[in-house]
Amino acid sequence: MAFSPSPYLTLGATGAGAAATAVSSARVAIGAWARWGAFADAAPRRCYAVAQPLRADGTPDRRGGFASVAAARGGVRTLHLRLSRPRSPAALLTLDIDDRRFALVGDTVSARAPDAATDRAIVAAMRGARIMTISTLDRAGRTMTDSYALAGAATAIDAAALACARG
C-alpha cells in the first residue's frame, strides 16, 4: 500500500516561502523550504518531504495531488506522486525533470518509479533542477500535467533523512 500524507497535511504558499501545518499529533513538522515541507511520523517511524503541484499561475493546485519523497534509514529515498485527478488506465506516465525524462508506473491516481535505480536517478535529478512535471492522459483522453517547483526540495529531503537517521 502506498503512503499518502494528504489526509494529515496541508501546504500553502505564502509570499517567499511555504507554510507547512501538521494536523496529526503523531506527525511532526520538521520545517518548510520554498514550496516543500519535511515531516516525521512517530509510529511507524517514517520521514518525508512533500509538496503540492502548481497551477499555471504559480499558485498551489489544491485538488489533492502531491509529490513526496520518503526518507528511510540507510539512505533510501522513494518518490511517490499522487495525481491531481484520475488518469486513463491505459495512459503512460512520464516524469520530466528539467531535460531528463523518466517512465513511471502506477494506478489511476498515483505514480512511482518502476525500480530502485530509477528512484535514485529521479531524486538525484531533483536536486539540481528547477521544475518537475508528470504528464499523462485523463479518463477523457485529454493531456494532464502536474508540475512542481523544486526550489527547497533538496533541503526538505535532506532534513527528512536527518530526522529519520536520528531516530
Q: Which domains does the chain have, with CATH numbers?
A: 6-166 (2.60.40.1880)
Q: How confident is the model at residue 71 (pLDDT cuts 50, 70, 90)?
A: confident
Q: How many CB atoms lie within 10 A of CB 94?
A: 15
- The per-residue pLDDT for 90 is 94
Return the C-alpha cell found at 36: 516543500
Q: What pLDDT is recorded for position 3?
A: 38
Beta bridge partners of 110: 82
Which amino acid is residue 105, in one-letter code? V
pLDDT value of position 74: 67
Set of cell numbers at residue 2: 502506498
CB atoms closer than 10 angstroms to residue 91: 16
Whether the predicted pLDDT of 20 surpasses 50 = no
Mean pLDDT, the chain, as a whole number?
85
Mean pLDDT for the stretch of residues 139-143: 96
CB 151 within 8 Å of CB 130: yes
CB atoms < 10 A from the CB of 32, how many? 23
Q: Strands across the sheet with 131-137, in order? A: 27-33, 36-41, 46-51, 66-71, 77-82, 110-112, 100-106, 93-97, 131-137, 143-149
CA distance 99 to 132: 10
Mean pLDDT of the 5-13 span: 40
